[in-house]
Amino acid sequence: MKIARFSRIGFIMAAAGSAVGLGNIWKFPYIAGEYGGGAFVLVYLLTVLLIGFSIMIAEMLIGYLGRMDTVSSFEELAPVNKHLWKFGGFQSLAGLFIMIFYSVVIGWIFNYIITSLTYLPATPKEAEIVFNSMLHTDFITQFFYHTVAFIWITYVLNKGLKGGIERMNFYLMPALMIILAGMFAYATTLGAFSQAVAFMFAPDWSKITSEAFVTAVGHAFFTLSLGMGAIMTYSASLEKDANLVKNAFWVVFLDTTIAIVAGLMLFTFLYQYGSGPAKGPGLVFISLPAAFYEMGIVGNVFAILFFVALAFAGLTSSVSLVEPMVQYFIDRFSWSRLRASLSMGLFFWFFGIFAILSNIDGAKEYLTWGGKSFFDWVDYVTAAIMLPLGGLIMAVFVGFIIPKSKVESVMKSQLKWAFEPWYFSLRYITPIAMFVVMLSLMGVL
């Protein structure tokens, strides 16, 4: 089945929407602080340039040449052993599995948008009590907003690439950037801005370890939406004369810029009004609401704007996580878009209920194994195994399986002198890096 065509700006917005998600605004800032601030930012930027950018071009190339869903594209492009290489396309399952907990987190954000209208916790301790109460005892609230996320995402997916995904990103991505730009501009007027700049960019090399490098590679994959079939699926809709390198550059540039801007803005508020950086959910659901409280009525406005921006980032990523499997069932089994969208939506909605229950007192004991809850296991398996494995498969496929002449026919004119270094990196450096990352995240190394 022919895939609908994106406009160039539509592709960039959709791919950037896929890349710009909760990882940029939530995860990147606290990871940067944990692993040496400026030192980690430098390592991350090098990782994005040398590995992330390289893999993104490879993933775009597979989709651009294949012109079908991920499974069919691998099968179509493999000169031999097509029946085996088609399984490389099932990396798109990673996005669907990520949605199991991603939708739950988006539900938390929806809840915080509503509560921020009238209430902000006065202290980090109070904020922690509020968050933990929701997480461990309030099943109904989490279930309700998880369901709202499911309805929104399924509706957009059913509208298709042009009418749903491109249109949503056309509005939400600029809105997200305007909100963050406005809050960042305000942050630059505060005395703590220089402290935030020092935190983000002043290097602490003592914290740069092998674990920091692994974390940088892993986060680059997560935040750029690599190894889950989203970029590949979108690239199948590009026009024949599309420049993959330029498109990849703009996606990486927007993704990285938003991550850095969000980090500077968040840490300025935390240093100015709060107690400093925090890790994990504590950054945006505990420390930040308490910092907003100190701003007075302006804090309520900023809290609402921030969580709306965070919701936009989550929603634009969510449709990209599910679309590859939707397209697979449309192409391979001739399902209607409604049937495919609803089936995939119901999958992550149903298992998302178990992700919620795995944190609820009285139920979590039955959904915890090996020291990890069902929520944590889904997060771990996708991040530690599925995404690095997807990157490894793509690097090997483009570097060794697709004939070099076919790769050159598209990429030589676009990369010019950089083609051979890129191709060498894709064949020898990237696969090793992906293998090491996967073993490290699995705890083998």
Q: Please indicate, yes or no, if residue 1 is contained in any of the structural domains.
A: no
CA atoms within 13 A on the CB side of 284: 32
Residue 203 DSSP symbol: B
Q: What is the mean pLDDT of the chain?
A: 88
How confident is the model over 44-54, as pLDDT tens digits? Answer: 888 888 888 89
pLDDT more than 90, % of the chain: 52
Q: What is the pLDDT of residue 7?
A: 65
Residue appearing with tokens 């599995």: 97
How confident is the model over 226-276, as pLDDT tens digits? Answer: 888 889 998 988 888 889 999 999 988 988 888 889 889 988 988 888 666
pLDDT at 441 over 80: no
Q: Please indicate, yes or no, if residue 3 is contained in any of the structural domains.
A: no
Q: Please indicate, yes or no, if residue 127 is contained in any of the structural domains.
A: yes
> Domain range holding 320?
8-441
How confident is the model over 340-367, as pLDDT tens digits? Answer: 999 999 999 999 999 999 999 999 999 9
Q: What is the mean pLDDT of the segment spanning 374-397? A: 91
Q: What is the pLDDT of residue 187?
A: 93
Concatenating the DSSP letter of every residue in 215-245 gives: HHHHHHHHHTTTTSSHHHHHHTTS-TT--HH
229: left (phi over 0), alpha (psi -120 to 50) or beta: left
Neighbours of 270 (CB within 10 A): 24
pLDDT at 37 over 90: no
Handedness of CA 261, 264, 265, 267 (dihedral sign): positive
Residue 372 DSSP symbol: E
How confident is the model over 182-234, as pLDDT tens digits? Answer: 999 999 999 999 988 888 887 777 777 877 887 887 787 777 878 888 899 98
How confident is the model over 66-85, as pLDDT tens digits? Answer: 999 999 999 999 999 998 99
Q: pLDDT band at 279, cuts 50/70/90? A: low
CATH number of the domain within which 53 lies: 1.10.4160
Spell out the residues 6+ positions from residue 11 whose beta carbon is closer than 8 angstroms to its own. 234, 235, 237, 238, 242, 247
Residue appearing with tokens 């921030």: 306
Q: What is the pLDDT of residue 1?
A: 46
Q: What is the pLDDT of residue 223?
A: 78
Q: pLDDT band at 437, cuts 50/70/90? A: confident
Count of domains forming the chain: 1
pLDDT at 167 over 50: yes
Q: Please indicate, yes or no, if residue 2 is contained in any of the structural domains.
A: no
Please tell me the least confidently modeled range out of 8-12, 319-323, 393-397. 8-12
Handedness of CA 173, 174, 178, 179 (dihedral sign): negative
Concatenating the DSSP letter of every residue in 13-80 gives: HHHHHHHSSHIIIIIHHHHHHHTTBHHHHHHHHHHIIIIIHHHHHHHHHHHHHH-S-HHHHHHHH-SS
Q: Please indicate, yes or no, if residue 352 is contained in any of the structural domains.
A: yes
Say how far apart CA 137 and CA 357 lie, in whole Å.
9
